[in-house]
Chains A and B, each alone.
Chain A
Amino acid sequence: MSHAMDVLPYLVAAYVFLTGCYGLATSRHLIHAVGCLAVCQSATYILLLAVGYRAGGTAPVFSDIEPGSRPVVDPVVQALTLTDIVVGATVTALLLALVLQIAKRHGTVDPDELRELRG
């Protein structure tokens, strides 16, 4: 029972990642595909935060707790998660801009109809 809890958050991250992959592969709409990529990326947030969790820990912010009085979660992975979110947002913005261009130039946003390259 307790052993299941030891790995459950990691398994949730894997599940979310695979769900995003399934959505990406079966997507019929490019904006939907961009959303699926965001789902894949959120799996990495879960994984990072799960790796950094410490039992009974609180946020690593010492403006209202005495340093050393309580265990805190790992701040390094939290900073990495922040970086992850920022990069994810920029990638989403760029991809959506590309989708807009594709919709204008090709008149479709179905990936299966975008077969050949056109100038």
Chain B
Amino acid sequence: MNRLRLWLLAVGGTGLAALLVAACLDLPRFGGRSHPYGDRAVHASLRRHIANTIASVNFDQRAYDTLGEMSILFAAVLGCVVLLRQTRDEHRAPPEPAEVARPVRRYALLVLPVALVTGLYVIAHGQLSPGGGFQGGVVAATALHLLYLGADYGALERVRPLGVYETTDALAVSSYVVLGLAGLLAGTAFLANTLLPYGTFNTLSSGGTVPLLNAAVGMEVAGAATVLLAHFLDQAVEIEDATEEEPGK
């Protein structure tokens, strides 16, 4: 059985490898000069005073796709929350306060505010410098979890009221849709970046609706990452199988 499977894998893998190599040889030369879509994206971005072209592609030219991307993230978080819920035969035990080595504690508590501010900075400067809502949101959410490394799970739970983050997540997705609908009410298209003045190039308020959409995504990603990590950590730290616990007690 296993032999057969390996043979099948070898045959299929060789075939796929041959096709992939043939396809690679036919692709445009690496580092070539012709990038028609890229050139047009750069022009469109500069016309709307957005310094970071990738933010322009994500939140202006492809803002509708980003709505889909946000919905995927939201749906995935929802799925994880449902899959990782506490079932009837499990019970929740508050984790024991943990001993943390002093250097680890000191370093984690020192870095936490720096990491948090860095995350917020990356979100706020999404349309100016590399980064944006997706990247900054993850940095901000993981910064909070330094508390778990530096102190213990109880300390993290005290600064992380889960309901607030779940609400933030949902509100951020809604606000993205509302910003899109605002364009519709103003007489243009859904999520069209013609609502607000484009501002001065290379300043925080430049780019029309891009900074607002970027902030909405940042909020959503920060909320989503926190909720996801919270449910996985709950499984690892707090929720216990009742059947395994009984004999010991």
Contact = CB atoms under 8 A, between A and B. Distances in A.
Contacts of A114: none
Contacts of B20: 14, 17-18
A104 interface: yes
A104 B79 contact: no
Interface of B: 5-6, 9, 13, 16-17, 20-21, 24-25, 27-33, 35, 37-38, 41-42, 45-46, 51-54, 56-58, 62, 65-66, 69, 72-73, 76-77, 79-80, 83-84, 128-130, 134, 202, 228, 231-232, 235, 241
A91 B76 contact: yes
Given A6-B30, A76-B37, A83 B52 contact: no
Would you list the 10 A-B pairs with minimal beta carbon distance, nearest first?
Answer: A74-B38, A90-B76, A55-B31, A10-B24, A75-B53, A79-B57, A14-B20, A60-B53, A97-B83, A63-B51
Contacts of A54: 31-33, 35, 38
B79 A26 contact: no
A59 B5 CA distance: 45
A50 B38 contact: no
A62 B72 contact: no
Contacts of A18: 13, 16-17, 20
A76 B17 CA distance: 27
A8 B21 CA distance: 10
B32 A94 contact: no
A33 interface: no
Contact of A82 (B30, B32, B54, B72): B54
26 contacts: A7-B25, A7-B27, A10-B30, A13-B24, A25-B5, A25-B9, A50-B30, A60-B41, A62-B52, A62-B202, A63-B52, A71-B33, A74-B35, A74-B38, A75-B41, A75-B42, A76-B57, A78-B57, A79-B58, A82-B134, A83-B69, A85-B134, A86-B69, A86-B72, A90-B76, A97-B83
A9 interface: yes
A73 B119 CA distance: 25
B53 to A, nearest CB: 4
Contacts of A91: 76
A32 to B, nearest CB: 16
B30 A60 contact: no
A80 to B, nearest CB: 9
B24 A14 contact: yes
B54 A51 contact: no
Given A10-B24, A63-B129, A94-B79, A5 B13 contact: no
Most buried by B among A6, A59, A97, A98: A97
Contacts of B13: 18, 21-22
Nearest to B78: A94
Contact of A11 (B21, B77, B134): B21
Contacts of A35: none
A113 to B, nearest CB: 13
B62 A79 contact: yes
B52 to A, nearest CB: 5
A98 to B, nearest CB: 6
Interface string A39-67: 00000000000111111010111110001
Most buried by A among B33, B53, B62, B66: B53
Contacts of A11: 21, 24
Contacts of A14: 17, 20-21, 24
A37 interface: no
